[in-house]
Amino acid sequence: MVGVGTGYFLHLANQDRENLAKETEQAKLDTLKAKQEQQVAIAQANEKVEQANQEVTKAQDAIKALELERTLLAEAKTLAPPLASQTADWQLAVSTALGLSLKYPPGSKVTQDNENLLAVAASGTSIASQSNDGSWLTVSASDQAAKSRLLARLQTSTPVTYLLNGNLIYGQEGFLNDGRSQNRAAVFEVLKGGATTHLIWIQTPPNQRSGRRVKVIAIEDVLATLDFAKLP
């Protein structure tokens, strides 16, 4: 009888140990699950905070752009599109990718027209020169790195702002940093509705006619031919 009683108690003790081991394992699993759920919740919360920060940054940038636009409007010089008679022999360049068109005087040609860049260089410019900043006019999408590179090509510059058909064209205009001070050049950005849309590099058009009664074609004259697609 004593043996039977001892065996019964041993059986109960083993059951208790098994149950305790199961409970301990379950507790560990519950703890691990709780930690995982906590980590997921923290990650989701951090993602929401990051999204909120991005929205705040976008809103702040939009406000800054609108404030800049308002400031520039007060000092902008209005450019009127030239008369048809003044550009009768000019060529038309259209970039559907960049959403714009412009005219350029004789003595030049379009050397690149793709989704990234519209470029115009003097007729007869070699391919090597074209690939080495040989274009006197380029238009691309807004690009701060490219803007910095272009500004470095100016020896001296002053801020200039134009208003053309509701578009602000603003930037720096001065002399080309190539040892020939008579070569004027400028770097402009186009601002519309609080958004910077285009980057423009432009120099005084080359291959101009000479003569006392011939008007020199200036940077402004080419800028005035720009026509931008209407924003939706």
pLDDT at 95: 95
pLDDT at 15: 75
Out of 1.10.10, 2.40.50, 1.20.120, 3.40.1000, select the CATH number for domain 81-228: 3.40.1000
Average pLDDT rounded to a whole number, residues 86-105 = 94
Sheet bearing 227-228, strands edge to edge:
91-95, 100-104, 227-228
The token pair that represents 170 in the structure block: 């603003």
What three-state secondary structure class fits 193? coil
Tell me: the pLDDT tens digits for 184-220?
A: 899 999 998 888 999 999 999 998 877 777 788 999 9
pLDDT at 52: 78
Give the chain's mean pLDDT. 84
Q: Give burial (CB, 10 Å; 0-12/13-18/19+) of 146.
A: middle
Tell me: the pLDDT tens digits for 109-124?
A: 999 999 999 999 998 7
pLDDT at 203: 94
Q: Which residues of 199-220 are buried (b: 16+ CB within 10 A; e: fewer)?
A: bbbbbbbbeeeeeeeeeebebb
164 Cα distance to chain centroid: 21
- pTM flag (> 0.75): no
Is it the case that residue 142 has pLDDT exceeding 60? yes
Tell me: the pLDDT tens digits for 75-94?
A: 999 999 888 888 999 999 99
- Which residues, 6+ apart, have CB-to-CB distance to 217 below 8 Å? 105, 204, 205, 208
Is it the case that residue 126 has pLDDT exceeding 60? no
pLDDT at 77: 95
Q: Which residues of 115-145 are buried (b: 16+ CB within 10 A; e: fewer)?
A: eebbbbbbeebeeeeeeeeebbbbbbeeeee
The token pair that represents 67 in the structure block: 């404030």
Least confident of 13-27, 101-115, 181-195: 13-27
Tell me: the pLDDT tens digits for 36-59?
A: 888 887 888 788 888 878 888 777
pLDDT at 56: 80
